[in-house]
């Protein structure tokens, strides 16, 4: 079992955004299945920022593409949540068949100012994951809400890293499909990092590392969207080695692709 260290006294760093984004842009130019664009451009303290969106289109299937969105980096001090979706895209570029029938919109860096500064909050000092669908004036929220409203995804997956966690866990928000998808994702990722065994996680009652309740204002689909998409939050323990966090999150994402495709194949027989 991976042993988690005690929380260190972290020295804040200033991360190189160009070094992170350049491979993304280059991959979008070189790989035919990848399209990289930037959305929600804004300035903060005279510096321009934007949110990268990478769309990966898998080989076609006999049905219309399944449109999923993956979000990382809502909290700037959770680098594993940024690196994991990028590593996931690298795997798909090497093995596109894994994404057969899918169109994946990946937003790996939703809080670029926080990422550069290694802070949980954005440049205005706000937790972006409490600001959704509340008439927020934050440019990151406006850009992401626009993406969610226009695209009407079939499923949403948000990645986080929790420095109080004792293992991997996730939020189901009390929906049966969410739990049906999250359980195999946790099971497969638990070969890399253990599940959080506590009966209360992040202040909520938990069962087998699954939490039904959730905070207000977290990233979600528009309230009026019908049918509702599946909507999962997957958390890694931030004090675990970052390469293990990334591998656990990538494994969970791969499992979710397989499980949701199987669910759609089975659903017409229900």
> Nearest to residue 263, comparing CAs of 158, 183, 192, 208?
183
Distance, C-alpha 66 to centroid of its chain? 17
What is the torsional sign of CA 248, 253, 258, 264?
A: positive
Query: Domain residues of the chain, as ranges?
Result: 17-269
pTM: 0.93
DSSP 8-state secondary structure symbol assigned to residue 152: -
Q: pLDDT grade, residue 32 (50/70/90)?
A: confident
Q: What is the mean pLDDT of residues 32-55?
A: 93
pLDDT at 265: 84
Count CA atoms closer than 13 A to 121's CA, side-chain side.
6
Q: Token pair 């253990």 is at which residue?
A: 194
Say which range, 19-23, 183-187, 253-257, has the weakest mean pLDDT: 19-23
DSSP secondary structure string for all residues of 153-177: -SEEEEEEEETT-SSBEEE-TT-HH
135 pLDDT more than 60:
yes
For 240-253, give the DSSP string.
Answer: S-HHHHHHHHHHHH
> What pLDDT does 254 receive?
98
Which run of H or E residues covers position 107?
strand 102-107
Three-state SS letters, 7-62: CCCCCCCCCCHHHHHHHHHHHHHHCCCEEEEEEEEEEECCEEEEEEEEEEECCCCC
d(Cα 269, Cα 237) in Å, to the nearest integer? 38
Residue 7 pLDDT exceeds 70: no
Residue-wise pLDDT for 69-105, tens only, equals: 999 999 999 999 999 999 999 899 989 999 999 999 9
The domain 17-269 belongs to what CATH superfamily? Zn peptidases (3.40.630.10)
pLDDT at 5 over 60: no
């Amino acid at each position: 079992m991976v042993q988690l260290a005690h929380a260190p006294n972290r020295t804040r760093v200033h991360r190189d955004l160009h070094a992170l984004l350049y491979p993304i842009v280059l991959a979008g130019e070189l790989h035919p299945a990848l399209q990289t664009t930037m959305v929600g451009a804004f300035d903060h303290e005279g510096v321009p920022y934007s949110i990268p969106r990478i769309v990966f289109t898998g080989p076609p299937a006999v049905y219309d593409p399944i449109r999923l969105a993956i979000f990382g980096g809502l909290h700037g001090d959770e680098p594993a949540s940024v690196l994991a979706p990028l590593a996931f895209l690298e795997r798909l570029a090497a093995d596109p068949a894994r994404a057969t029938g899918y169109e994946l919109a990946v937003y790996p860096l939703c809080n670029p100012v926080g990422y550069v500064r290694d802070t949980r909050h954005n440049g205005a000092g706000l937790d972006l994951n409490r600001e959704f669908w509340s008439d927020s004036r934050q440019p990151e929220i406006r850009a992401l809400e626009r993406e969610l409203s226009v695209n009407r995804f079939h499923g949403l997956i948000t990645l986080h890293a929790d420095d109080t966690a004792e293992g991997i866990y996730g939020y189901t928000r009390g929906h049966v499909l969410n739990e049906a998808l999250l359980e195999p994702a946790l099971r497969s990722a638990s070969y890399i990092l253990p599940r959080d065994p506590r009966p209360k996680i992040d202040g909520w009652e938990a069962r087998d590392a699954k939490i039904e309740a959730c905070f207000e204002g977290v990233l979600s689909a528009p309230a009026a969207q019908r049918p509702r998409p599946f909507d999962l939050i997957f958390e890694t323990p931030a004090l675990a080695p970052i390469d293990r966090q990334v591998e656990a999150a990538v494994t969970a994402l791969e499992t979710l692709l397989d499980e949701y495709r199987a669910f759609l194949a089975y659903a017409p027989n229900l």
